[in-house]
Amino acid sequence: MAETAREELINSLKSLLSSSEYSDFTITCGADAYKVHKAIVCSRSGFLKRAEKFPFGKKSAENMVNLPADDPAIIKCLFHFLYGCDSNDAPIDRLLHAKMYEITDKYNLRGLKMPTREKFTLEHAFMSTPDEDQGLREILYEIVVSHVVLLEQTSVEELMGSHTGFAFSVIKRQAAELARLKSS
């Protein structure tokens, strides 16, 4: 029952972002405008809390904040995170992950830092090296084989789903480790 209530809450938050119903704050970045909810965005981001409390100019009377220095794609991802949308809802490339990691400090988003780092690091190891260069991959194999609980993490599951060679190597190494344990 608690899980159902949690899912309903997350779905409600997601629908608030897409519908902008009950919004009381507008944040613009480039050509994008987000009608958001102070209770949600300001409670989850210290930066937005400060921006809302100390706005400047005519925008303050209109409950608006402009973020001209930020990448609109990053801000879109930021709001998806703040409203509980899974990062899997939209594909994000490696550069975007790196930029998301960068803004976690600016926007005071501790909860986003680790998943962004994990996803970027895993994908980076496979996308930035040729297949014959096993250096980084070897480290990942050993980590996953040594810490099987990692297979429960979404980022590792996604990596194994998109890189079947990695998944097969992990299975082979797990089988060899199991055989070694049985023989000792």
Q: What is the mean pLDDT of the chain?
A: 79
Question: Is there a domain that residue 171 lies in?
Answer: yes
User: How many domains is the chain partitioned into structurally?
Assistant: 1
What is the C-alpha to C-alpha distance for residues 172 and 166, in angstroms, rounded to an integer? 10
Asked whether residue 184 is assigned to any structural domain, the reply reads yes
- pLDDT by residue (tens digit) across 5-45? 888 888 888 889 888 889 999 999 999 999 999 999 999 88
- On whether residue 80 sits in a domain, the answer given is no
What span, in angstroms and rounded, lies between the C-alpha atoms of 143 and 126? 15
Distance of CA 4 to the CA centre of its chain: 23
Residue 175 covered by a domain: yes
CB-CB neighbours of 171 under 10 Å: 12
| 44, part of any domain | no
Q: Which residue has the tokens 């989850």?
A: 44
Q: Residue 148 has what pLDDT? A: 79
Among residues 84, 140, 89, the alpha carbon closest in space to that of 112 is found at 84
Cα gap 27→59, rounded to integer Å: 10
Collapsing DSSP states into helix, strand and coil, what is residue 93?
Answer: coil
49-60, pLDDT tens digit by residue?
A: 888 887 655 455
Inside any domain, residue 135:
yes
Q: Is residue 79 part of a domain?
A: no
In-domain check, residue 176: yes
If we measure between CA atoms, which residue out of 134, 10, 2, 180 comes closest to residue 80? 10
Structural domain boundaries, residue 135: 131-184
